[in-house]
Amino acid sequence: MIKINSNYRKLQSSYLFVEIAKRVAAFQEANPATDIIKLGIGDVTRALPPSIVSAFEAGVQEMGQDESFRGYGPEQGYAFLREAIAENDYQSRSAQISADEIFVSDGAKCDTGNILEIFDHDIRIAVPDPVYPVYVDTSVMSGRTGTMQDGRYQGLTYLEGSPENGYVPMPTPDLRADIIFLCFPNNPTGAVATREQLAAWVDHAHKTGAIILFDAAYEAFIRNPDIPHSIYEIPGARDVAIEFRSFSKTAGFTGTRCAFTVVPSSLQGVDAEGNTVPLWELWNRRQSTKFNGVSYPVQKAAAAVYTEAGQREVRAQIDYYLENAAIIRSTLQDAGYSVTGGTDSPYIWTTVAGDSWDFFDRLLNEAGVVCTPGTGFGKAGSGCVRISAFNHREKVEEAMRRIRPVLG
Ligand SMILES: *Cc1c(COP(=O)(O)O)cnc(C)c1O
Supply the angle between the helices 15-30 and 356-367 in degrees, to the nearest 10: 30
> Distance from the CA of 84 to the center of ligand 1, in angstroms?
21
* Domains delineated in the chain: 6-47+309-407 (3.90.1150.10), 53-307 (3.40.640.10)
Residue closest by Cα to atom 15 of ligand 1: 187
Helix (H) or strand (E) run with residue 213 in it: strand 211-215
User: Taking 80 as the threshold, does the pLDDT of residue 290 lie above it?
Assistant: yes
State the distance from the centre of ligand 1 to the C-alpha of 134, rounded, in angstroms. 9
Alpha carbon of 216 to ligand 1 centroid (Å): 9
> How do residues 248-276 score in pLDDT, each as one tens digit?
999 999 999 999 999 999 999 999 999 99
Q: Is the pLDDT of residue 14 over 80?
A: no
The per-residue pLDDT for 16 is 82
Q: How many CB atoms lie within 10 A of CB 278?
A: 15
Q: Is 165 annotated as a binding residue?
A: no
Q: Are 135 and 302 in contact (CB under 8 A)?
A: no
- Average pLDDT of the chain is 96
Alpha-carbon distance 23 to 361, whole Å? 8
Ligand 1 proximal residues by C-beta, below 6 Å: 42, 107-109, 132, 183, 187, 215, 217, 246, 248-249, 254, 259
Is 42 one of the annotated binding-site residues? yes
Ligand 1 pocket test, candidate residues 131, 167, 187, most atoms within 8 A of CB: 187
**Residue bearing the CA closest to ligand 1, atom 4:** 108
Distance 218 CA to ligand 1 centre (A): 8
Residue whose C-alpha is closest to residue 74's, from 287, 301, 300? 287
Q: What is the pLDDT of residues 80-113, one digit of tens each?
A: 999 999 999 999 999 999 999 999 999 999 999 9
Atom of ligand 1 nearest to the CA of 258: 8
Q: How far is the CA of 393 from the centre of ligand 1 (A)?
A: 23
Ligand 1, pocket-test mutation among 111, 127, 215, 248, most atoms within 8 A of CB: 248
What are phi and psi for residue 278, nearest 5 degrees? -65, 130
| Confidence band of 18 (pLDDT split at 50, 70, 90) | confident
Residue 42 has pLDDT above 90, yes or no: no
Could you please report the per-residue DSSP string of 143-191?
A: T-S--EETTEETTPEEEE--TTTTT-----TT---SEEEEESS-TTT--
Do the beta carbons of residue 294 and residue 82 sit within 8 Å? no
User: Nearest to residue 105, comparing CAs of 255, 294, 289?
Assistant: 294
